[in-house]
Amino acid sequence: MGNISLIGVPIDFGQMRRGVDMGPSAIRYAGAVERIEAIGHTVVDEGDIYVANIADFEEHPKLRNLEAVVEGCTQLAEKVSSAVEKKNFPLILGGDHSIAIGTLAGLSHHYKNLGVIWYDAHADMNTEETSPSGNIHGMPLAVAMGLGHEKLTSIGGAQEKIKPENLVIIGARSVDEGERKLIKEKGIKVYSMHEIDRLGMTEVMNEALLYLRDRQIDGLHLSLDLDGLDPMYTPGVGTPVPGGITYRESHLAMEMLQESKLLTSAEFVEVNPVLDTKNSTANVAVELMGSLLGETLI
């Protein structure tokens, strides 16, 4: 993979529970840099993007903190694009999941047929018309497909950032009605907890990776929301949903992603130290990063 560019995004404007802006610090404190370097990688810590105070931005009635999210994601898109230009592997630390808008915008400058694995309890495919809350962290996949407010879809250029057929959602168990319609309309590949329980994680990952290979993707991004795991392992998330992926299943998924040699970037989001117990959610994030980046037992 070469050098790894670590980029922190201390933003919590995409939702209503404060504290997830401290996620990058918590993940660093849990030993992310040391863990990755111990595997043999060189880590270039790019620090955190600057996030201004929310008081500097106007409120939008159906898109909470729109201007703040646009500002943060625009900066992130530039940082991610710069990392890829340097042939570094971008590893982004969130922040809430709205940051994926910036990540995917930055990657879109370098990949024409990017594959995305969305490891999450939620589909994150709402728009301002369908969102029950107005929280932008529930919208990044819709935005990346070119759906939503122009200020969001135009970040990093007005093009569609990902193709619906190049997307695989893993771990879904809380999907809104508008998202359900969009998933069916676009024919998006989803492995809900039903499929994970029924098939097992090995088969789910084998199928997902084969599906993406068949689409001849030229890069693969992992967007991992810590609420994809069951909250017994990751209590420090803003929108926990019981009945999630286990700790061991998640390590297996990361190991299989590593073995595939397809992965070109990753982000870990929604670690909220305010809601956490002894930094356990950040610790899990770092442990999963280890498996994703080549750590082995023997």
- Tens digits of per-residue pLDDT, 18-49? 889 999 999 999 999 999 999 999 999 999 99
In a domain, 189, yes or no: yes
In a domain, 282, yes or no: yes
Q: What is the CATH number of the domain that holds 275?
A: 3.40.800.10
Residue 137 CA to residue 141 CA, distance in Å, equals 9
Cα pseudo-dihedral 180, 185, 190, 195, rounded to 10: 80
Comparing CA positions, the residue from 170, 167, 144 lying closest to residue 77 is 144
- Give the confidence band of 57 by pLDDT, cuts at 50, 70, 90: low
In a domain, 298, yes or no: no
Q: What is the mean pLDDT of residues 108-132?
A: 95
In a domain, 297, yes or no: no
280-291 pLDDT, tens digit each: 999 999 999 999
Tell me what pLDDT residue 124 has: 97
pTM passes above 0.85: yes
Q: Residue 159: CA atoms inside 13 Å, Cβ hemisphere, count?
A: 15
Q: How many domains does the chain have?
A: 1
Residue 39: other Cβ atoms inside 10 A = 17
Mean model confidence pLDDT for the chain: 95
Q: What are the residue numbers of the active site?
A: 97, 120, 122, 124, 137, 225, 227, 270
148-201 pLDDT, tens digit each: 999 999 999 988 999 999 999 999 999 999 999 999 999 999 999 999 999 999
Cis peptide before 8 (omega within 30 of 0): no
In a domain, 21, yes or no: yes
In a domain, 209, yes or no: yes
Tell me what pLDDT residue 58 has: 66
In a domain, 88, yes or no: yes
- Domain carrying residue 264: 4-292
In a domain, 82, yes or no: yes
Are 29 and 279 within 8 A, CB to CB? yes
